[in-house]
Copies of this chain bind each other. A is one copy, B any other.
Amino acid sequence: MANSGSGDSMTVRIVRVLETFSADRTVQTAAQIGRRAGLASSTAHRIVDDLVDAGLLERDDEHRVRLGLRLWELALRGSRALRLRQAALPHMELVQTRVREHTQLAVLEQEEALFLERLSHPEAGANITRVAGRLPLHASSSGLVLLAFASHELRERVLAAPLRRLAPETVTDAAALRRLLAEVRRSGYVVAAGSIEQVSTGVAVPIRDAGEVVAALSVVLPRGADPEVAIAALRSAARGIEAVLASGR
């Protein structure tokens, strides 16, 4: 019942439709969605119609569609992303007050760092991260923390795969990355200078829930800034977030 002729389940087709939307592509026609999702035009139109009927997509006066508020609501209402983010937000604001740069919260998702929240000081410098955006584990400071405390299997899989160079200083040598991850596990923080953008340094610490690392909290500093204040602020915030998570269990 859920399967069509091509073998994809309806759920997979819906996901393929939703995947065509991004921060840079918020409004599309059904025909554009079909092309981008690799679906036949008639199939794309039928799925889009269904999604509009259910409120997961919204149609404008020019018959283009965008992601619906109903989808946002259903995705957030009972999600651990929201729980984690609500626990973290007041503490992220404290980091923000002390460090006055960008402060991010990220989790591990499908072998990448997925950013759940970002606060930015009006005068802060460059920052590539976006809420609901992703970065590679081996390049971002958040990703390095998540990778350092990930399962042995996942870590070995990432170390065995090609490590893409995002900036001249991205660690792309598996042996060097392995040493760096061991150092992160020992020290409990990472300072990643120029690994994503030459002009900035990421600093990140782990956040634990029930003994397991569930997220990374990070700040982006201008390159060359002393990371000591940021490390202290992040560690203090992580302890605060961990206390909130523990109280909510």
Contacts and interface: CB of A to CB of B under 8 A. Distances in A.
Q: How many copies does the complex hold?
A: 2
B50 A9 contact: yes
* Interface size range of chain A in the complex: 35 or more
Interface in A64-123: 66-67, 69-83, 86, 89-90, 93, 107, 109-110, 114, 116, 119-120, 122
A22 B78 CA distance: 4
A26 B56 contact: no
A73 B11 contact: no
Given A66-B78, A72-B132, A131-B86, A50 B109 contact: no
Nearest to A108: B69
B15 A56 contact: yes
A123 to B, nearest CB: 12
A14 B50 CA distance: 11
Contacts of A11: 10, 14, 47, 50-51, 53-54, 56
Given A2-B10, A47-B2, A90-B122, A109 B78 contact: no
A12 interface: yes
Interface string A223-241: 0000000000000000000
A247 to B, nearest CB: 14
Contact of A70 (B5, B21, B67, B110): B110
Contact of A25 (B1, B67, B78): B78
Given A1-B46, A18-B74, A76-B72, A53 B119 contact: no
A55 interface: yes
A79 B72 CA distance: 8
A70 B110 CA distance: 9
Contacts of A89: 119
Contacts of A47: 2, 11
Interface string A2-44: 1011000111101100110111011000000000000000000
Contacts of A81: 69, 72
B76 A132 contact: yes
A10 B75 CA distance: 17
5 contacts: A2-B10, A11-B50, A14-B14, A67-B79, A69-B114
